[in-house]
Amino acid sequence: MSAVRLLLLSLLCALFVSLSHGACAEVDSDTEAVAGKGFKLGCISCKMRPEVEASATVDWYFKAKGEADFAHIYNYDEEGQHIVDERFEDRVDWSGSKQSNDIQDASIYLFNVTFNDSGTYRCFFHRLLTYEFYEYQTVVSKLVHLTVVAKATRGTASIVSEVMMYVSIIGLQAWLYIEMVYCYRKISAAGEEALRESANAEYLAIASESKDNCGVQVAE
């Protein structure tokens, strides 16, 4: 039983290590950009189960103030980025998850912001979850209401959002660290217990063998 318990604890510890590498926290995007400057349109969608393999593609849509419909402006997939709307040609760059098809951060960076960029942006995650015996397709969307101003007037909501982002990330990492320490101690304790049981079993075996030898000698 000790060996089984030790194996289970080792697997649990490995799981927490993998989670620590894939830590993800969903935070809202800033909503105020300054004309002539750059701006990051944030869009994060964390998987509910980080251990599940997945791949995703991303689409961004834009509806300017006064317009009725969204226009497709940007796409990102395994081949890279594709700027669809000429209004954003040479002005958008990918700022999300890199070197992985498992996209959880779909943020983009907008260069040389103009007042015409004010409006509503919508990003879509088209995510394919791969399980052992089947695949499952999900679609997640996020909205960003962007206002372009002549001079920066950073609001309280933006400050609170940034603070909460760091608090969430630090809290998650601290929790994972505590769990890994707990895991390590459990594994160490289980290993020591297994060694003691093995030593006791070996001692009993030697004692039993010695007793049998003594019995044989007495009989002779």
- 142-158 pLDDT, tens digit per residue, is 999 999 999 887 655 55
Question: Is the pLDDT score of 11 beyond 70?
Answer: no
Of 186 and 112, which is predicted with more confidence?
A: 112
- Other C-beta atoms closer than 10 Å to the C-beta of 12 total 16
Helix (H, G, I), strand (E, B) or coil at 87: helix
Instruction: Give dist(CA 71, CA 115) in Å, integer.
Output: 17
User: What does the pLDDT read at residue 43?
Assistant: 95
Of 46 and 6, which is predicted with more confidence?
A: 46
Nearest to 27 by CA among 14, 11, 44, 13: 44
Q: Decide: pTM greater than 0.75.
A: no
Instruction: Give dist(CA 218, CA 196) in Å, integer.
Output: 33
Tell me 187's DSSP state.
Answer: H
Of 96 and 154, which is predicted with more confidence?
A: 96
| Longest CA–CA separation in the chain, Å | 109
Instruction: Report residue 110's pLDDT band, with 50, 70 and 90 as the boundaries.
Output: very high
Instruction: Give dist(CA 3, CA 6) in Å, integer.
Output: 5
Instruction: Report residue 1's pLDDT band, with 50, 70 and 90 as the boundaries.
Output: very low
User: What does the pLDDT read at residue 171?
Assistant: 76
Taking only the tens place, the pLDDT of each residue in 36-90 is 999 999 999 998 888 899 999 999 999 998 899 999 999 999 999 999 999 999 9
Long-range contacts of 94-100 (CB under 8 A, 24+ apart): 95/40, 96/43, 96/58
Residue 68 and residue 123 in contact, taking contact as beta carbons nearer than 8 Å: no
Tell me 105's DSSP state.
Answer: B
User: What does the pLDDT read at residue 209?
Assistant: 65
User: What does the pLDDT read at residue 219?
Assistant: 52
**pLDDT > 70 fraction of the chain, expressed in percent and rounded:** 74
- Output the CA–CA distances (angstroms, integers) from residue 17 to 13, 24, 50, in the order listed: 6, 14, 12
User: What does the pLDDT read at residue 135?
Assistant: 95
Question: What strand order describes the sheet that includes 32-34?
Answer: 32-34, 135-149, 119-130, 53-64, 71-77, 80-83
Of 86 and 195, which is predicted with more confidence?
A: 86
Residue 103 and residue 76 in contact, taking contact as beta carbons nearer than 8 Å: yes
Residue 57 and residue 45 in contact, taking contact as beta carbons nearer than 8 Å: no
